[in-house]
Amino acid sequence: MPTPLAVLYLFGGVVWLLMGGDLLIRGSISLSQRAGVPPLVVGLTVVAFGTSAPELVVSLRAALAGYPDLSIANVVGSNIANVLLVVGLPAIVYPMTCNQPGARRDAGIMVAMSVLFVGLCIIGALERWAGLVLLAAFGLFLLYAFRASMVEQSWGDESEEWERGLGLPRTSAMITMFLVLGTLALPVGADLLVRGAVSLAVALGVSSSVVGLTIVALGTSLPELATTLIAAFKREAALAVGNVIGSNVVNLLAIMGITAAVSPVPIPIPAGFLTVNLPLMLAAAATLAWAVHRRGVVGRRMGVLLLASYVVYVVVLL
């Protein structure tokens, strides 16, 4: 049975990560608005990186603490949760449109980067060179985002949408406070979550990768889920799919790239990843890309299907 201390660590870690991610996202969006960064770039980079910050600090903490399998499980599990849960659940609340300019290209990039990541995993454990390959691909992705911004409109209706959806700080002092507090809260949450995950894995008699794919991944995906649910309830989910696409790309390229590059040991590919988890991650990305290309909307029926798939996946793992 899980010990009360493990549960307390997990709960505390999730709370600190959620609070830190929320503050960092809102502060970053306000700062980007003041700098005149177009909404496409903000959705693909600033918001995506902000919502992926928990994955980054948790993966780094796990790798440096001697649990590298927890690092890759966290990222792969988060990408699966982002599509099946973070898109599926809000789509049941309100259909999510995904026909914005450039959405098809972004979805195609997500699938391509998922294929690249799976290919590196097939080769073997993710060594430092693999991390550098992922970071190089992330650099190209950023270059694409900024080049795309040349044809994007400046902040207008999108700015008001973020304001209504998230409640952004307005003054320089508030923006600075949000950024500082968010940056400080994330490492605290990461440490607590990793401690709790390892303790829970021992108590349940399962591998740390299983806990990473489920509980840890769900905990680090909460910022994406919260952001998307808020938008869905306000019927302003137009930017949410772009956030999920950007977050998945950032997870694979930046988070795993940084983790593999700085990890003292190669990141191992846990048992079952090549036959179950990585194919599911790729299938989820392809499903979302199909919705973007062919339908332009994720409706309630697809939302139910995605959410049901995630519930079955978690139940089978645990």
Q: What is the CA radius of gyration of the chain?
A: 18
Contact 67, 193 (CB under 8 A): no
Q: What would the DSSP string read from start to end of 234-276?
A: TT-GGGHHHHHHHHHHHIIIIIHHHHHHH-SS-B---TTIIII
Q: What is the CATH number of the domain that holds 150?
A: 1.20.1420.30
- Give the residue among 234, 196, 202, 236 at the shortest CA–CA distance from 218: 196
DSSP classification of residue 253: I
309 phi/psi in degrees, rounded to 5? -65, -40
Element (H, E) at 154: none
Contact 255, 71 (CB under 8 A): no
DSSP classification of residue 151: G
Q: Tokens 């911004």 sit at which residue? A: 149
Amino acid at 119: G
Query: Which is it for strands 297-298 and 96-97: parallel, antiparallel or unpaired?
Result: antiparallel
9 phi/psi in degrees, rounded to 5? -60, -45
Q: Cα 132 to chain center, whole Å?
A: 20
Is the pTM value of this prediction over 0.95? no
How many angstroms separate the most distant Cα atoms in the chain?
A: 56
Per-residue pLDDT of the chain (318 residues; tens, 9 = 90+): 557 777 787 777 777 777 776 777 777 777 766 766 655 566 556 666 666 777 788 888 888 888 888 889 989 999 999 999 988 888 888 777 776 667 788 889 999 999 999 999 999 999 999 999 999 999 998 887 777 656 555 444 444 554 554 567 778 788 788 877 877 777 777 677 777 777 777 777 777 788 878 877 877 777 677 767 766 666 655 567 777 888 899 899 999 999 999 999 999 998 889 999 999 999 999 999 988 887 677 888 888 999 999 999 988 887
Domain count, the chain: 1
Burial pattern 184-207, b for ≥16 Cβ within 10 A else e, equals: ebbbbbbbbbbbbbbbbbeeeeeb
Domain containing residue 186: 4-317
- Give the residue among 73, 84, 100 at the shortest CA–CA distance from 242: 100
- Give the residue among 4, 10, 40 at the shortest CA–CA distance from 196: 10
Exposed (0-12), middle (13-18) or buried (19+): which is 282, by Cβ within 10 Å?
A: middle
Contact 22, 216 (CB under 8 A): no
How many Å apart are CA 111 and CA 212, to the nearest integer? 22
